[in-house]
A = this chain, B = another copy of it.
Amino acid sequence: MMSATATLAEQAIITPEEFLQNWQGHRGLTRRVIEAFPEKELFEFSIGGMRPFAELAKEMLAIAGPSLKQIVTGLQESFDEKRAGITTKKQLLDAWDEATEQINLYWQQIPLSKFRETINLFGQFNFPAIVNLTYALDNEVHHRGQGYVYLRALGIEPPAFYDRL
């Protein structure tokens, strides 16, 4: 098993470890974007009728940890993007940090073969696990980019996009 894994790591263009590192790098940046918002604007500011950034971050939370949990345990969580219990920046950041740990813990329990198995995430998204995980990452980058516009509109300099490598 060890040598098979080593061979894969040399050949695959993206290994599980690299995918996780990239995602957690993005999640660290998203955390800094949350931090950059003033408390009130985090929950209230929006442009063009879009959701405030706290709601976008709650959607990311609703996807990340629960996706990993279902992939590893098979237990399907309900998709809860409201997270009604989170009403302050500190609560949002604490939930973010909990998800960071949850993702790291579950990630280590995903056998290589499982990444390519089809899973019906939240009973709605019936794709190979890696496609669902790629979607989760892309969705976070997409919405965080929107947070950058909110911050600029508020006259606040966002953290550097490339500060993840």
> What is the number of residues of chain A that contact chain B, defined by CB distance less than 8 Å?
44
Query: Given contacts A141-B141, A145-B145, A149-B149, is CB(A13)–CB(B11) below 8 Å?
Result: no
A37 to chain B minimum Cβ distance, whole angstroms, is 14
Q: Which residue of B lies closest to A161 (CB)?
A: B142
Give Cα distance in the complex from A113 to B11, angstroms: 7
Give Cα distance in the complex from A13 to B115, angstroms: 6
- Residues A135-165 near B (CB distance < 8 A): 135, 138-139, 141-146, 148-155, 161-162, 165
Q: Which residue of B lies closest to A22 (CB)?
A: B134
Q: Are A49 and B12 in contact (CB under 8 A)?
A: no
Give Cα distance in the complex from A116 to B141, angstroms: 23
User: Interface on A for B, CB 8 Å cutoff?
Assistant: 8, 10-16, 18-19, 22, 26, 47-50, 112-113, 115-116, 127, 130-131, 134-135, 138-139, 141-146, 148-155, 161-162, 165
Contacts A12-B14, A47-B153, A142-B144 known; list 8 others, CB within 8 Å: A10-B116, A13-B16, A47-B152, A48-B149, A50-B152, A131-B165, A145-B146, A146-B149
